[in-house]
Structure formats: structure tokens, C-alpha cells
Chain A
Amino acid sequence: MKPLLITVSLLSLMTAASFAQSDPPVEQPMATDSTMVASTPSITPPAPVSSLEAKDSPDDHGHSITLSWEPSADDGAGAATVTSYVIYHSTSPEGPFDSVGSAISGATTFTHSSAKESDAAGFLADYVDRYYRIDAVTADQTIRTPSSVVGPVQSSGQWYNDGRTPVAVAVAFFGLLSLFFLKRAKAGADLYVRPLGGIEAVDEAIGRATEMGKPILYVLGLGTASDISTIASFTILGRVAKRVAEYQTHLIVPCYDPIVMAVAQETVKAAYMDAGRPDDYKEDMVYFLTNSQFGYVGAVNGIMLRQLPATNVYMGKFYAESLLLAETGALAGSIQISGTDEVAQIPFFVVACDYTLIGEELYAASAYLGREPLLLGSLKAQDYAKAAVIICALLGALALNIAAASNATWGLTFKEFFKVTN
């Protein structure tokens, strides 16, 4: 067997070599659907693309095939310069092949895909054998050389997205860290948190409102119940409402979103029950205004000037209205405490409010106000995660700089660990 095999391969090699010396042969098209051969013998058609491969696109929902190839030898050079590649597709190796798109010269990949709805244009069903061919096309569209046909290949959806592994690691890391500290908190460990200006001010401000016999205005911002900052704000509202109930001050909570209103009603009602004053809770403390940003601002500004609240608390998501609200409140002479995670709005609150919880402090505030061990536990987890970020940043910068100084590329490998693709 063996000698025979060697002879055959030698023979074929020799034939190939002799072909290579003569003019490159024009590959005969496998399909009959289009004319791909140069009609005039005076112009040499370009070399075809080589190493054409078709694969199911990775980490996706299916309905997509990725093609890759080595450009034609005449790409960007040669007598018959290739200006584009036209991609042909068929469900049978014999054709007919249909054009499904093109790539400019120099390109080496193409994705043939469709939406996942079965009535979408050019729908690509999964688990169907597909065949591809690429034509190297010159400026004169008729002068082109097809590649050999590749296939069969099938598209399919994956059940795990490899490119997102760093996120999975982060979820596991943070989840375990949180669980660890929650457990410690439950076991009664003494968890220290440093005092935070804005938080101390909340109690003070409620006291002042009581003394003056004026209401407290709590603004939840423009967030919906889908925004985590609004959820954090509900917790703070709960604490504020409880104090308000204890001091028997009046609370005003105008809302921008009806679901936020529903939740805020539940929160305030429960706070009054907790404080042992369920009868003091009134339906009209928490009410809806309008779903329009500036309509809401106009109405809340009106409340500030007419009911003259002693304290305005802004917690949650805010956009351009932050300054309109906070300035009106400041002009009306109220004590103002704010907190938001909208980075662009923090400066306005900082300028116009007495205390501002910046970014993460908003999320920490609920733990501070409640002093509940479980909430404090999760604050510890946040701090350790920040420490991890700092360590990673130090290590990463170190690796990058040492590697750069020694002209090595491994410094970038560390960066790859954190790279989320797709």
C-alpha cells in the first residue's frame, strides 16, 4: 500500500509543479448561473482567493455563517487588479449559486446572516447544508475568477457565549464576595462604616422640618422602576418616611412614573406602619403628576414655591431637570440633599444643594440609613471589589510598563483577561 501512495503523491506533485510553471489554469466554474470566465483571451483573469473556509459564526443565536479567505494574489496588484469579492451561496454543491453580498478588495472575511424571524428578508434557516464560493472580481465586472466551492456548513445557535467569560468570572467573584459578607453580617460580625456627610444631614433636616412645621419634599427623579438608582431611592424613601412618621411631619412625594408611584406608595405606607402610625398615612402624600419631563419639573417647582418645604430630597435618576429643581429649591431657602448616579448631573447638584451623594454614595446611603447588618455586609463586598479593581489596575499597569520597557508583547496579555467580546 505504502509505496503506491507515495508514487501517486509524487506524481501529483510533479503535475502540479509543471502546471505552476505554465500559465495559471483558469478554474472552471462549478456553477452555470453566471459567466465568470474572461471572454477576451487578451486579458488575464485575476487569481482566485485561496484557503476559503466557511464556519458557523461562533457565540451567536444562529442564522449566520462566517467566511474567511486569503486574498487573491492580484488583490491590490497585478495586471488584473481585484476590486471586490462577490460571495455566492447555495444549498447544493451543484448550485444554482446566488450572490449574497460582496466585500471590498483587501477584505478577508464576510458574514452571511439574517434576522431570526422566519419571515425576515433572506432568512437563513439553521441546520441546513450550505455551500459557498467567492468570485474575485476586477473593475470590469465580467472579468472574474471563482474560487472552489466550500461546504457543507450549517449554522446553529450556541448555548454558551465564550466571549463573555470575563463577565461570568466577575459575577462569580462578586456573588461569592457578597455571600461571604452577608453571612458574616448575619453571624453578627461588627462591620465598621465611616460616617458620610449627606446621610447625617438627612436626620438633621427632618428634625428641622418638624421644628418649622413645614413639609419634606422627596423627589424620586425621572427613573422608572427599572432603574437601580430608583430602587436605591425607594430604600432611602422608606427610611425618610419612617422618621417623618415618627416626628409627625408632612411628606410630599410627587411622581413621574406611575409604577414608581405605586411602589413609592407601598414603601411609604409600610414605613408608617413600621413607625406605629398607620393612620397618619394619607393617599395624597404620594401622587402622580405627568410622564413628561418638563411638565414634572414645572409642577415640582410650583410645589417648592407654594408649600415651601423645609427640606428637599432628590434621590435617583435625573437629567437636565436637576438644576431647574435644585436651583428653585435653593432660591426658596430649603435645605437640599441630593444623590444621583447620572454623572453629568452631579455638578449641578453639588453647586445647588447642601449635601450631595456622589455616585456610589447613593447606593451606600440605604445601608447607612438602615444600619441593617445585611445591607452593611453588601457594602463591605463593594469595598473589597474596589480593592480588587485597584490591585488589578496596579498589576496591569506594572505588566504593561515592564513589558513595554523590555519590548515584549506579554504585557497586553493581561489586558486580554478583561476583554469581553460580543
Chain B
Amino acid sequence: MSRLAIIVTICVVVLFLGSWIFKALQAQDAGVDHYLLRGFLVTCSAFLTLAILSFLYKDNPIYKFAEHLYVGISAGYWMSQGFWSTIVGNLIPRLSQSLSGFFKQPYNAGEWMGGFFYTNWVFYVPVIFGVLLLMRLSSKYGWISRWALAFIVGTTAGLQFIRYMRSDFIEQISSTFVPLLVDWQGIGHFFSNLSLSATGQLVAMVSNWIIFLGVLCGLIYFFFSKEHTGLFGKASRFGIWILMVTFGASFGYTVMGRVSLLVGRITFLFRDWLGITS
């Protein structure tokens, strides 16, 4: 360890302890239960916030620590969450009355359909698939896990196939039918109200033409089996221009939202931790 690293470590530890004591005393004054723990936790979140922000300067041991801590805790968190909500919440009440009693879950008795098919039987299937999936851990029978993967991939491929056929294909076609001509009421009316936000006839017509041609040229840009030359190439060029303008607009639109996220974090540091502003 270099001298600098030792100094930095000592500073961090001292600051941490100082903040802990200070926040604990504050909590005690406010009459909070477990004030020592509370002080520790608030200090933790402040230090972790700073540790992540330090990444902006460069990768450093404190960031690395926060990152590994976060990966471990979040992986464990989602694991338990999945166990309690899906296995205990959804599966066990369908499989065993005594187990659901043990986990304090209401047992779902299921029903006999047509007198020969018991609905709870279907919940053994995912268990079987799940066990097949876990066979991956064995080097000899690992290939069996493909059955489970095939089930998931097949089911969702079918689902997405039909879903996107409707939402991204059929329903988009008819929305490209826009009025391209205007109801002619004289030249004065046509050129009136030229502001972009108003609904003057000229502006509305040009906008509709841009939407219409923009969609067509955008689609032409995505043609793979024809060289983009000549008129086709020009259309494709216009298509990518429209795409780029859109990407720019969308980029600009997001900026403000991101800045407000940062303001939120800074508020936490200054108000909730340091108590400087209110």
C-alpha cells in the first residue's frame, strides 16, 4: 500500500466513524429506537453514494468495494425475493397443504376439471422443468437442461410473434394513412397561420407529408436486399436523416430528466445526511 492510500483509508475511516457518531446522536435526540443502528445505516448510504460518485473521477478501491457489495447484496436480495414471492407465494400453495401451512400461506386446493383432470397437477410441470434446468450443474447430463430452455424459448417466441405481428405491423400500417391534401378554401386561407404550433393549412399539410414520406423513406433505409443507389438511395438518405433528427430530439428530451435525478441525489447528501439545507 502506498502512503497516499493509507492516508486516504484513514481519512475515510475517521469520517465514517465521525458521521456515525454524529448521526446516532442526532437520532437519539429525535427519540428514534435503535439509534446506533440508524446512525450507522444513514452513514452507510451516504458513503455508498459518495463511493459511486467517485467513479466519475476514476476507478478506485472505494468504488470497487461499493460495486462488489452491491452486486452481492442485490443478487442475494433478488434470490430471496424470487423464492418468497414465486416459490412460496405461487407454487407451494398448489403442491402441498402441509408445506403451505408451514410457510403460513393459504392452501389453494385446485379443482377437478371434467372429473379426470386435477388443476394442481399442472404445477408439477415447472418443477420438473426447473430440475431439468438445474441438471446443467452436472457435466454428464447437462444437455437435458436444453429441454427447459426449449420450452421457455418456444413459448415466448410464439407469444412475441403474434404480439408484434399485431402491434408493430398490422396496427402501424393503417396509421400511415394520413390526409395529404387540403380542403381548398382560397389561397389566403391556405397561407394563413404559419406558426409551427398552429394548425394552419400549409403547416398541417407539410407536416403530414413529412410523416408520410418519413415513414416510407425510413422503411426504405431498412431495405437489405437492394443496393441503396439512385432514387432508392436518395430516399434511403432522407430516411436516415429523419431518423437522426428523431434521435437528436429524443436525446435532448431525456437530458432534463437525467439532471433531475442528479439533483435528487445531491439533495439526499446535503439535506438527509449533512442536514445543511432543509
Within 8 Å by CB, do A and B touch in the complex? yes
Q: Does A379 contact B (CB under 8 A)?
A: yes
Enumerate 27 A-B pairs (CB-CB under 8 Å) in ascending A order: A164-B166, A167-B162, A167-B166, A174-B169, A193-B224, A193-B225, A194-B223, A194-B225, A194-B228, A225-B149, A226-B159, A226-B160, A291-B79, A292-B70, A292-B78, A294-B70, A298-B67, A298-B71, A347-B254, A358-B243, A359-B222, A379-B225, A380-B225, A393-B212, A400-B178, A404-B183, A414-B177
Q: Does B85 contact A (CB under 8 A)?
A: no
Say yes or no: A191 contacts B225, CB within 8 Å.
Answer: yes
* Given A291-B78, A298-B52: A418 in contact with B173 (beta carbons within 8 A): yes
Majority SS of interface residues in chain A?
helix
* Given A306-B59, A393-B177: A192 in contact with B67 (beta carbons within 8 A): no
Interface string of B155-190 (1 = CB under 8 A from A): 011011010111001111110111111010000000
Task: Give A267 to B164 CA distance when docked, in angstroms.
Answer: 26
Say yes or no: A174 contacts B177, CB within 8 Å.
Answer: no
Q: Does A348 contact B (CB under 8 A)?
A: yes
* Given A171-B165, A295-B74: A382 in contact with B224 (beta carbons within 8 A): yes
Q: Does B147 contact A (CB under 8 A)?
A: no
Write out the residue numbers on chain A whose beta carbons fall within 8 Å of the beta carbon of B164: 228
Q: Which residue of A lies closest to B169 (CB)?
A: A170
Interface string of B221-250 (1 = CB under 8 A from A): 011111110000000000000011001101
Q: Which residue of A lies closest to B143 (CB)?
A: A266
Q: Which of A71-79, A147-155, A384-392 has 4 or more CB atoms under 8 Å from chain B?
A: A384-392
Q: Does B117 contact A (CB under 8 A)?
A: no
Q: Which residue of B lies closest to A392 (CB)?
A: B173
Nearest 5 pairs of A and B residues by beta carbon? A292-B74, A226-B156, A347-B247, A396-B177, A418-B174
Say yes or no: B153 contacts A225, CB within 8 Å.
Answer: yes
Task: Give A304 to B176 CA distance when docked, in angstroms.
Answer: 43
Say yes or no: A298 contacts B157, CB within 8 Å.
Answer: no
Write out the residue numbers on chain B whose beta carbons fall within 8 Å of the beta carbon of A166: 170
Q: Does A420 contact B (CB under 8 A)?
A: yes
Q: Does A262 contact B (CB under 8 A)?
A: yes
Q: Does A397 contact B (CB under 8 A)?
A: yes
Q: Indicate which residue in A167, A194, A302 contacts B170 across the interface (CB closer than 8 Å).
A: A167
Say yes or no: A174 contacts B225, CB within 8 Å.
Answer: no
Task: Give A346 to B244 CA distance when docked, in angstroms.
Answer: 10
Task: Give A118 to B64 CA distance when docked, in angstroms.
Answer: 54
Known: A298-B71, A383-B225, A418-B171. 10 other contacts (CB 8 A): A167-B162, A262-B149, A294-B70, A295-B74, A302-B67, A346-B247, A350-B244, A385-B169, A389-B176, A390-B219
Q: Does B12 contact A (CB under 8 A)?
A: no
Write out the residue numbers on chain A whose beta carbons fall within 8 Å of the beta carbon of B250: 343-344, 347
Q: Does A263 contact B (CB under 8 A)?
A: yes
Interface string of A256-297 (1 = CB under 8 A from B): 000100110110000000000000000000001111101100
Say yes or no: A299 contacts B67, CB within 8 Å.
Answer: yes
Task: Give A294 to B66 CA distance when docked, in angstroms.
Answer: 12
For the complex formed, measure the closest distance between the CB of B165 and the CB atoms of chain A, giving whole angstroms: 5
Interface string of A195-239 (1 = CB under 8 A from B): 010000000000000000000000000000111100100000000
For the complex formed, measure the closest distance between the CB of B134 and the CB atoms of chain A, giving whole angstroms: 10
Which B positions have Cβ atoms within 8 angstroms of A? 52, 55, 58-59, 63-64, 66-68, 70-72, 74-75, 77-79, 111, 133, 136, 145-146, 149, 152-153, 156-157, 159-160, 162, 164-166, 169-174, 176-181, 183, 212, 215-216, 219-220, 222-228, 243-244, 247-248, 250-251, 254
Q: Which residue of B lies closest to A167 (CB)?
A: B166
Interface residue range, chain A: 35 or more
Say yes or no: B225 contacts A420, CB within 8 Å.
Answer: no
Q: Indicate which residue in A262, A393, A397, A419 contacts B136 across the interface (CB closer than 8 Å).
A: A262
Q: Indicate which residue in A167, A259, A302, A404 contacts B152 across the interface (CB closer than 8 Å).
A: A259
Say yes or no: A118 contacts B215, CB within 8 Å.
Answer: no
Say yes or no: B70 contacts A419, CB within 8 Å.
Answer: no
Write out the residue numbers on chain B whose beta carbons fall within 8 Å of the beta carbon of A179: none
Write out the residue numbers on chain B whose beta carbons fall within 8 Å of the beta carbon of A354: none
Say yes or no: B59 contacts A302, CB within 8 Å.
Answer: yes
Say yes or no: A383 contacts B170, CB within 8 Å.
Answer: no
Task: Give A343 to B250 CA distance when docked, in angstroms.
Answer: 9
Write out the residue numbers on chain A whose beta carbons fall within 8 Å of the beta carbon of B212: 393, 397
Interface string of A40-76 (1 = CB under 8 A from B): 0000000000000000000000000000000000000
